[in-house]
Amino acid sequence: MSDQTLIQVEQLTRFYGSHRAVDDLSFEVRRGEVLGFLGPNGAGKSTTMRMITGNLAPHHGRITINGIDILDQPKAAKAEIGYLPEQPPLYRELTVDEYLQFCARLNRITRSKQSQAIGSVKDRCGLGDVGGRLIGNLSKGYQQRVGIAQAIIHSPAVVVLDEPTVGLDPIQIRQIRHLIRELGGEHSVILSTHILPEVQATCDHVQIIHQGKLVLRDSIEGLAQRMQTSSLMVRLGRPANQDSILSINGVSAVDELENGCLRIHHDPETNPAAAIAHTAVTQGWELLELTPEKRSLEEIFVDITTSETEANESTETAAA
């Protein structure tokens, strides 16, 4: 991965009337990085995407695309951006080849290079066999591929994808995710999605925006650490002596669940799994299951956005 920063967002702020939709937002995306951009409805995610792509001006802040300030040099900066909105801008009455030729001309690709550019994106997006077909007759998955092809036909430095797998079947979703990972090898990619497993499957980094503010920015590896919990799920064939479990080093509490299951809480710095297994065997408890528990990305997302909302409400109440 290159160290080159292709997207730089600094102190981005946008109002709608008195409502601050985006509040002092700063982040960067480097070449070769796929950034998952998450947020609940009304968080300011779409507003941020519109400002990054040059479709909406910020009230305050700075955006540079491949080193070009999008407010000072909008045409040059936009030429470095490929954008796939949630509803792909397709002309259903055109064939794939006709549409991509039209997109090549819109992006000012010289006539001598248009054929090469079209052939390249058709290969990358798996459109080699459908060039002569009407876009309106293609499946939703192939239409999404055409939408991605128009976004990258001019080899932009930055690719912005808004909900690229909505409405696709599981096979189509896997194909589009694979394509997004490939795009991340050469471009900076921002992937906006409500499908949380998609972030884990395709992205290198994730950030969550809530009430206009950036509330989480982490790598996928760091996110995996956040998903670890300090508890073990244990299922036994025979009743256990909880005092024996609590005497194990690091164990802090035991919750009795249904069907012979226990949730054993422990200190984050220790892992008592081996000691629990040994005790269960020596005590004849018939150990059937011993599994470290994990939080899902959905649970992390809800925890972060809920805690931020409660904190803001508390601040507003105190100020009142």
Q: What pLDDT, on the 0 to 100 scale, is given for residue 307?
A: 64
Q: Are strands 251-256 and 158-162 parallel, antiparallel or unpaired?
A: unpaired
Q: What pLDDT, on the 0 to 100 scale, is given for residue 198?
A: 86
Residues with Cβ within 8 Å of residue 87, at least 6 apart in sequence: none
**Residue 315, amino acid:** T
**Contacts by residues 167-170 (CB-CB < 8 Å, ≥ 24 positions apart):** 167/140, 168/140, 168/141, 168/144, 169/141
Q: Are strands 68-69 and 81-84 parallel, antiparallel or unpaired?
A: unpaired
Cα–Cα distance list, 78 to 44, 96, 180, 296 (Å): 21, 24, 20, 37
Query: Per-residue pLDDT tens for 195-239?
Result: 888 888 899 999 999 999 999 899 988 887 777 778 999 999 999
Q: What pLDDT, on the 0 to 100 scale, is given for residue 2?
A: 56
**Residue 216, amino acid:** L
CA distance 224 to 231: 15
Return the SS3 of 194. Answer: coil
Residues with Cβ within 8 Å of residue 155, at least 6 apart in sequence: 117
Nearest partner of 68 among 54, 57, 58, 48, judged by Cα: 54
CA distance 127 to 95: 11
Q: What pLDDT, on the 0 to 100 scale, is given for residue 185?
A: 86
CA distance 304 to 302: 6
Question: Domains in the chain, ordered, with CATH?
Answer: 33-57+68-224 (3.40.50.300), 228-320 (3.30.70.100)
Q: What pLDDT, on the 0 to 100 scale, is given for residue 253?
A: 93
CA distance 105 to 189: 23
Cα–Cα distance list, 266 to 230, 276, 287 (Å): 5, 11, 19
Residues with Cβ within 8 Å of residue 244, at least 6 apart in sequence: 279, 283
Q: Could you say which residues of the chain have pLDDT below 70? A: 1-2, 307-320
